[in-house]
Amino acid sequence: MRGFVVAGLAVLLAGVLALHRFVPGLGMRLGSAVETFLPWLGLAIPVLAGLAWWRPRVALPAVALPLAAWLALFWGYVVPSRDRSHDLVAVQHNVSDENADPGGTARALMAAGPDLIGLEEVTAPAVTTYEAVFAAAYPYHSVQGTVGLWSRYPLAEAGPVDLRPADFGADWNRGLRAVARTPRGDLAVYVAHLPSVRMGLGGFDSVHRDEGAVKLGAALAAEPLPRVVVLGDLNGTVHDRGLGPVLEHVSTARDFAFSWPARLPVARIDQILARELTVTGVRALPRTGSDHLPIAAEIGA
């Protein structure tokens, strides 16, 4: 009997991995919660394999199913493409509005050698520090509300992008768009900070995040320039169905690069995405004074 229980659990796990898009929300956005931590479901596979060892004839073949499903999803993450040629390097970081060392954070981000730097939770007192530290290498910048973009290349048409959920106040401004005049032509760059999600007794509360994602997706759909880069704390992973409206228009490399929480990262909710360009690799950078890790990405034509 124990072997059939283990086999049943293995089949269930394989189904969740392979068909995660069909996991019902059940009024609690359960599907988004599962997709946020989807890679970690693989930890159950060795546990099931250990239990199956005592009933190998029935259970071990069943354990091969979730293993195959996990590898189908994440093999490209474990063995990423060797082609990491690129024309641009971008860095994305939620610097935290409680960061006690914005100057040190800015210098740490510069060490990655980026061409574009997108920041979220930029407070008014810290703007002067970021401007001073970035000034020589990144003379072009725009700050809209609490998000900012610093660039090696001239910026044009910089302005806010409305990502505000309907019931948020008018002072909530967490989106910007600018055109970077790069050597390879104009590039629309978005910096976005979508609303946070919360786990509670009522489930996975992502209503406002999802509303912001719809607005960002609409902005990307209307973007006239073909080449686009999105830098942002989107409060969601690329498997989370709530970011579907955004991911219809942009994509990224298959790398784990977990960015949150900084002490023990379990998910990449910070994203660097592109359209008509290829994000060839994403990596997490060393910790700063934030509760997020910075991430850097190579971007090729």
pLDDT at position 290: 98
Q: What is d(CA 33, CA 1) in angstroms, rounded to the nearest whole number?
A: 31
List pLDDT tens digits, range 262-291.
999 999 999 999 999 999 999 999 999 999
Pairing of strands 140-144, 147-151: antiparallel
Q: Which CATH number fits domain 88-300: 3.40.50.2300, 3.60.10.10, 3.40.50.720, 3.30.450.40?
A: 3.60.10.10
Q: What percent of the chain has pLDDT over 70?
A: 96
The full set of domain ranges for the chain reads: 2-77, 88-300
Q: Is the peptide bond before 294 cis (omega within 30 degrees of 0)?
A: no
Q: Which amino acid is at 18?
A: A
Say whether pLDDT at 231 is over 70: yes
The tens digit of pLDDT for each residue in 13-31 reads: 999 999 999 998 777 788 9
**pLDDT computed for residue 79 by the predictor:** 84
**Cβ-count burial 117-130 (b if 16+ within 10 Å, e if not):** bbbbbbeeebbebb
Q: What are the tens digits of pLDDT across the range 30-46?
A: 899 999 999 999 999 99
Q: Is the pLDDT of residue 194 over 90?
A: yes
Which residue(s) pair with 176 in the sheet?
160, 191
In order, the DSSP letters of the chain are: -HHHHHHHHHHHHHHHHHTGGG---TTTTHHHHHHHTGGGGGGHHHHHHHHHTTSHHHHHHHHHHHHHHHHHHHHHHHS--S----SEEEEEEE--TT-S-HHHHHHHHHTT--SEEEEES--HHHHHHHHHHHTTT--EEEEETTEEEEESS-EEEEEE-----TTS-TT---EEEEEEEETTEEEEEEEEEPPP-EEETTEEE-HHHHHHHHHHHHHHHH--SS-EEEEEE-SS-TT-GGGHHHHTT-B--S-----BSTTS--B--EEEEEESSEEEEEEEPPP-SSSS--EEEEEE-
Say whether pLDDT at 56 is over 70. Answer: no
User: pTM here?
Assistant: 0.94
- Residue 202: the pLDDT is 67
d(CA 173, CA 163) in angstroms, rounded, equals 7
- State the average pLDDT over residues 188-195: 98
pLDDT tens digits along 118-161? 999 999 999 999 999 999 999 999 999 999 999 999 999 999 99
Q: Tokens for 61?
A: 């073949």
